[in-house]
Structure formats: C-alpha cells, structure tokens
A and B are shown apart, each in its own frame.
Chain A
C-alpha cells in the first residue's frame, strides 16, 4: 500500500509541475506576441518583437503564424497572447460586428473606444498603411472582359470561379456581404483555401477572382488586376498593434516602444516588405532586422 501511495504522489506532483510548466511558463518577464498567418502580419509582429527585445528588458515569446484573424483574437481575449497587429476595418466589422464606416479616423476612434470598453484591449498608433481588401482578377479575365470595377463583374460572374481564404467566408466584411451588396453570382462553389495558397491557386488558373490584400506582394508577381470598389463595400483597414491593457499597465515602457513604428510604414513600404517575404521568400527575421536597422531603430 505504501509503495502505491508514493507512486501516486510522485505522478501527481509531476503532473502538476508539467501543467504549470506548460501553461504558465515564464510569464513574468516576457510578453507573448502573436500574428496572423500571412507574410505582412508576420513581418510586422517580428519587427515589434525585435523592438521590444532591443529597447526593453522583456523577453518576447513569439507565437507568429498562429492562424487567422479569429484565432488571434480569441487568443488575445484568453490571455494566451498579449498583442498582435490588427486592422481597423477588421476590428470594426469582424470583431465588433458593426456596419462599415468609411472614414478612417472615425473607424479608428470607434474601435479604440469599444475594444477597451468591451475587452480591455488597447489600440496603439497605426503604422500608416491601408491594407484594404480588394478584388483581384487574373490578367486573362481582364483581357477578356475589360472589367475595371466590382460592378463590371456582375454580368460575367457566372463564368468566373471565386476563391478566398477560409475566414473571408466567415466575416461580416467578407464574401456574403460582398455578393449581396453587388448581386454577384459566381460560378459554382467558391474555393476555400489557406491564406498563403490563394495566390498559387490563382496563378495556376484554378480560380479567376480572389479577395486580395492591397499590399500583397503576389499581386505584382502574377500581374493581377485590382478592381475598384465602386459601391464602397470594404471599409478602410489601417493596421496598428492591439495590446492587452493589463500588459501595458504592468510594463509602462512598452507603449512608446511599440509606437516606434507609428507612421513609418506607408502603402509602398509595406508592399515592398511583403514582396521580399512572400515573393522572394526571404526570412522574416532578416527582412525585419534590415528594415529596422535602416530606420536606426535597432
């Protein structure tokens, strides 16, 4: 009987130790930075990580490439990550589930207020670029139909295959809202893929139309034609770091460090960085470091 009890105690202690190890690992002097699963978001998160490591005593626990928008948002709400780069339009429609607001300042104001009120999450200063959803078509489609705006697609939609990443079909500012507002009836079932496979699919001609992010590198690479959102469906998407308020309060030095990139990334710069990472396949760490060095930030 003795032996059994000692055995059980040992096992339970080990179990407890392991659980503590896994869930609470070194939360004291470190912060956890997450990111979505596409190049732009990963590179920004990496830059933020490097800034924190350079300018504070904190250690950064990187959880980059965590998953889509909802994975990251759930993770930050559940305190599994402390911050990640988010977009105002996404915050407004996907998370707050409110209607589209087209004025960028207004949209920023709303998300800032509501995120603190509802979830104790703070929006820091925007980086400067507007990475809006756009619709992109293959050069073949453009040549054949000469479409310039979303509305131009309406008569031909039945012959075109639409594809996008999974979450586009789950969001207010996504597929359902888009096709409803414009009355678009695409051919068959839309293709749903992982975010980074989107451009491979359209490049191979597996689909004709896709939602693209305005600053995506592959747009240039595949000579995709960006159409104009003539009815103004998509809101502006200005990117900024969103952080748990608790973490900012605990480490006041973080705020100024995380704001070091404020206004430093305009559309052109971001597109360039994305191109390096997504098209030239350069390592995110390297691209981030070189850019920050060029700005004398590390």
Chain B
C-alpha cells in the first residue's frame, strides 16, 4: 500500500509541476502568437511538430540530452502540453468579438491592460479546456517515466509486466485511468461553468 501511495504521489507531483510550467509558457506563447500572428504561425507549427513526434522517441532523445531522471520526464511533459495550451489560448483570443476590443480601446486601455483586464478573462474557459487536455495526456505519458529513471505509477505497471502479474499491472494502471477520468470530468464541468460566467 505504501508503495502505491508513494508512486501516486510521485506521479502527481511530476505532472503538477510540469503543468505549471507548461501553463505559464503555453499561455505566454499563445498571447505572443496573438500579438504577432506571423511569428505565431511558426510557434504553433513547431508545437504541432513536437506533438507529432512519437512520445517514446522524444523521451529517449531527451534522455540523451538530460540523462536519466525526473528532469527528462518533466521536459517531455511540458513539451507535449504546449500545443493544446498555446492553440486554445491563441484561438480564444483571436475569436474574441471585435466590438469588445474596440470598446476596450475606446476606454483608453493599453495593449497590456486590455489583455489582462478583458481578453484573458474572456478566454479563460477555452484556456482551461486546453489545460484539461494537456493534463489528461500528461497523466498517461508520465507512466513511461519508469523507462528513463523517473518515478511514478509506471514503475508498478512495468514490474507487473516483467512478472507477468496482471494484478500488479492493474494496481498501477487503475489509479492512472481513474485519476485521468476524474480530472477530465471535473475540469470539463468547471470549463462549462466558466463558459457561462464569461457570457
């Protein structure tokens, strides 16, 4: 039981920390893409490319650079979380009705003020949606941590595979799926409520 609790804690920790970084970087890049659409197209393009790289391949390549351990997994998780977050931020900002932007301009707001007081608050539902997708993905990817010396539930699952022990595989797998479903459902509900608010 102790082993399971430690594994869950490790798993959630690395996902949480990566998500914080991914959110900061992703939203920032999303805003930047909105302000400078020409560069923005490249940014999103690169994020799409990263997303297409097979996860095991990216993980192994990162291991070559960063070595074994949590840092490698952390970097991988951040990279894979970027696209949903950047894209949702960007799309939401670009799809804001022009009259709102005009109104804000009319009130004399600078670009930064407009962003912080109007544009981002209105984009929160969609950004949140992107965070949800990124988070659920990360929970699954983090299972591969066992392959590169990082912690988490993957260790239990892998031990189960090695011992041909279905119970052990399930012991590690069920928490991952349950936690992912809880977050997916919970954040989905929150997303809907935020959408109502934004109206």
Contacts from A to B (Cβ < 8 Å):
3, 7, 11, 14-15, 18-19, 21-23, 25, 37-39, 63-67, 71, 75, 78, 80, 194-197, 200, 277-278, 281, 283-285
Tell me which residues across on chain A come within 8 A of B155, comparing CB atoms: 64-65
The answer to whether A281 touches B69, judged by C-beta atoms less than 8 angstroms apart, is no
Indicate whether A80 sits within 8 Å of B168 (C-beta atoms), given known contacts A14-B24, A65-B159.
Answer: no
Q: Quick one: closest A residue to B74, CB to CB?
A: A22
Interface of B is mostly: helix
CB pair B149 A196 closer than 8 Å: no
- Give me 8 A-to-B residue pairs in the complex whose CB atoms sit less than 8 angstroms apart, sorted by A's number: A25-B70, A37-B162, A65-B155, A65-B159, A67-B147, A67-B149, A194-B162, A281-B168
A65 partner, pick from B21, B71, B158, B165, beta carbons under 8 A: B158
Name the residue of chain B whose CB is nearest to the CB of A34. B149
Nearest-CB residue, chain B, relative to A66: B149
For A67, list chain B residues within 8 Å (CB).
68, 147, 149
- Number of A-B pairs, beta carbon distance below 8 Å: 63
Q: Give complex CA distance A203, B17 in Å.
A: 43
**Chain A residues positioned under 8 Å from B70 (CB to CB):** 22, 25
Q: Which residues of B contact A19 (CB under 8 A)?
A: 71
- Closest 9 pairs (CB-CB, A-B): A196-B162, A22-B71, A281-B165, A281-B163, A22-B70, A66-B149, A63-B149, A80-B68, A75-B68
Within 80-114 of B, Cβ neighbours of A (below 8 Å) are at: 112
CA distance A283 to B168 in the complex (A): 9
Known: A63-B149, A71-B68. A278 touches B159 (CB 8 A): no
Chain B residues whose C-beta falls within 8 Å of the C-beta of A284 in the assembled complex: 159
Interface centre among A7, A18, A80 (most CB of B within 10 A): A18
Compute how far the CA of A15 lies from the CA of B75 in the bound complex, rounded to whole angstroms. Answer: 11
Bound together, the chains give a CA A78 to CA B74 distance in angstroms of 20
Q: Which B residue's beta carbon lies closest to that of A200?
A: B164
B67 near A78 with CB under 8 A, answer yes
- Besides A22-B74, A194-B162, 15 new A-B residue pairs in contact (Cβ under 8 A), listed by A number: A14-B21, A18-B21, A19-B71, A21-B17, A22-B69, A22-B70, A23-B69, A63-B68, A65-B155, A71-B149, A75-B68, A196-B161, A197-B162, A281-B163, A285-B3
